[in-house]
Structure 1
Amino acid sequence: MKQINVALLLYEHALASSLSLPAEMLSAADNFNRSRKGPSTQLTITLAGQSKEAVSHSGGILIQPHCRYQQLDNIDLLILPALWRNPIPVVRRNDEVSQLLRLSYQRKTQICSVGTASCFLAEAGLLDNKPATTHWYFMDAFAHRYPEVKLQRAHLITQADNLYCVGSVNSVADLMIHFIEQFYDRATAREVESHFSPEIRRTYKEHSFVEGEVSSHGDESVIQAQQWLLEHYQQHLDSTQLAAHCGLSVRSFNRRFRAAAGMTPGEYLAKVRVDIAQGLLKDSNLSIAEVAFAVGYQDSSHFSRLFKQLLGQPPSSYRKSVRGKLFSLPEQTP
């Protein structure tokens, strides 16, 4: 029988939803797999805390740990729940978490941080010179506090070795589908996916940044430029400076970029910005003007025109359509 050991860490002010959703999805996977194949797997989910006392989570929810951090052993997947608002005070008070993470990383345990819990990995020094993401609300503060981390602002999921970061609770569902396929099989993953909002799911591959992967065109100078644009999408595009950054003349840079990417640097940047704006329109309550500003546009009217040009509908209509998918009930047939 295949043993699958998953641990969820408990600490104050964490979002209970970022614990319950992964646990429910993994439990559903194990139940479905056992219904098909019999007792071929055994999933164990352990809640670990600094002590054996119940931990108060965001919303006043108390959760009782099964064991202390130090008692964890033989873990296949370690999940760090998201923190509400500023995570730094909680990170500073939980040095034992950093110690556990360093040990788990050495043991090749797969570690997944949700939202601002990526600060635990960064504080432990595990993300130095590695790609990572965090919740959009905390990205600027994260970049300032951890300059050695290669923050991927345009990606909701990153992977570097056995370290995974997801930007939000919604995104952890996409990553769980990836782990379910890894622990069980594709059929089990698809079954679980069908029960957890399939209309809004995106695959792990679709929106993840995996360290070591490169774009399919293979032009390293263009890849370097694309990566710079992904990481600095809020900044004004200066083709002269970007070309120099890649060691090319402006003319050669523009020619090679179009040949490799099939679009100009400006068109690529616009696509990146609109992709990020889609997530903000779906998952946040920012106004259209605030979304425009968040992705690098001072003029919300220009942003709206560009959004409609690329997606066929203005931002306001897009927001209504995706939120309709999230919250509307199916029509009743007589």
Structure 2
Amino acid sequence: MKISIFVPQYGTIEAITPAFRAFNTANEFLIYFGKKPIFDVEYVGLNKFVPANNGEYTIKTNRLLCDITKTDLLIIPPTFGNMDEGLKANAEAIPYFKKFYLTGASLASLCVDAFLLAETGLLNGKKCSTHWAYINEFKEKYPQVEVEDGAVITAYDNIYSSGGASSLWNLILYLVEKYADRKIAVIISKYFALDIDRDSQTQFAIFRGQRNHGNVDIQKIQDYIEENYGNKITTDILANLINTGRRTFERRFKEATNNTPIEYIQRVRIEAAKQFFEASRKNVSEVMYGVGYTDNKAFRDVFKKITGLTPIEYRNKFAKVLHDI
């Protein structure tokens, strides 16, 4: 699997190197356990040598963006300092990001480089995460993109994004788990002394739900959904849990989480389904029933809307990696 890490102008070593080190270290542990390394990691950029940390360091790229015909995953670390200057300095890279995505690559932005990713237009109509301190600026600059306020990791149509600062490690660990397995991700988290933050193999690694709203009633509803996603859940049931009317409940839930109750239930169920496909040999029907769906078409439609793939496509793409290593 080819992983290309973009080295941006106005970048820092602290944000550029984690993904490179994590995936190469994952290869080392795969070899240690008698398996084949699966990650081919490279630095890519607009220039052969790119300054970082205001010129304190220089990173040598393995390939220029203009020389890349295909990659499987492009990781975009953040720029720092003046956001407009960072966007301007890296503007030449934007068409390449779009080209790679349209030819089948997944994209992952770390921290505030959701700004650079948003410049492609690929996030329009989708959701993303970014640093909490830049959310208002992001919303003003990109009104067609929905920011998941408080989310650590967001995934939509093979585009991944992370929240601020050390949250980039959460996304890196998630991607290691997705393309290798959980065992390797846990080892990487221990090796680098990181909190993998998955709540004991919970299914909500990407869609964590917005929980910094401070509304105790809505947090109670979120807990209920995440603990009972395999059962029948209706808006009326949820509203009754906090003794409020349906319309009032829907309004309050939307204001707090930026999702309707139905959207939230769907996201939790699909995240659970994705983990089943990645970590087990269950077929589509078994997974569908396990996460609370009884209608194949409904499950397929929601799954594709959220992931960009049908359940079968997702299973074939990601379960294969897990079974072959």
TM-score range, shorter chain: 0.5 to 0.7
Which ranges in structure 1 are unaligned for 5 or more consecutive residues? 233-245, 247-255, 262-334
* Equivalent residue, structure 2, for 1:22: 19
TM-score, normalised on structure 1? 0.61
Contact 1:26 1:180 in 2 (8 A): yes
- What one-letter code is carried by the residue in structure 1 that aligns with 2:27? D
* Equivalent residue, structure 2, for 1:252: none
* Equivalent residue, structure 1, for 2:253: 226
Residues 127, 225 of structure 1: alpha-carbon distance in 2 compared, 3 angstrom cutoff: farther
SS in 1 for 2:139: helix
Shift of 1:82: 1.3
* Equivalent residue, structure 1, for 2:78: 82
Shift of 1:90: 1.8
Higher Cα Rg, which structure: 1
Q: Which piece of structure 1 moves more, 79-88 or 116-125?
A: 79-88
* Equivalent residue, structure 1, for 2:40: 44
Contact 1:52 1:67 in 2 (8 A): yes
Give the alignment of 1:197-208 within 5 angstroms. Answer: 197-198=193-194, 200-203=195-198, 206=204, 208=206
Residues 119, 154 of structure 1: alpha-carbon distance in 2 compared, 3 angstrom cutoff: same
Residues 69, 223 of structure 1: alpha-carbon distance in 2 compared, 3 angstrom cutoff: farther
Shift of 1:231: 4.1
Contact 1:102 1:124 in 2 (8 A): yes
Contact 1:69 1:97 in 2 (8 A): yes
Residues 185, 227 of structure 1: alpha-carbon distance in 2 compared, 3 angstrom cutoff: same
TM-score, normalised on structure 2? 0.63
Displaced runs of 4+ in structure 1, greater than 4 A?
A: 204-207, 220-225
Deviations 1:219-268 (A, max 9, x none): 29656642431349xxxxxxxxxxxxx8xxxxxxxxx9xxx99xxxxxxx
Q: Which piece of structure 1 moves more, 79-88 or 157-166?
A: 79-88
Shift of 1:71: 1.4
SS in 2 for 1:8: strand
Give the alignment of 1:2-151 within 5 angstroms. Answer: 4-38=1-35, 40-58=36-54, 60-151=56-147
Which ranges in structure 2 are unaligned for 5 or more consecutive residues? 210-224, 237-246, 266-325
Report the number of matched residues.
230
Q: Partners of 1:90 and 1:190 in 2: how far apart?
A: 34
RMSD: 3.1
Deviations 1:38-72 (A, max 9, x none): 4x234321111112233334572211112211112
SS in 1 for 2:44: strand
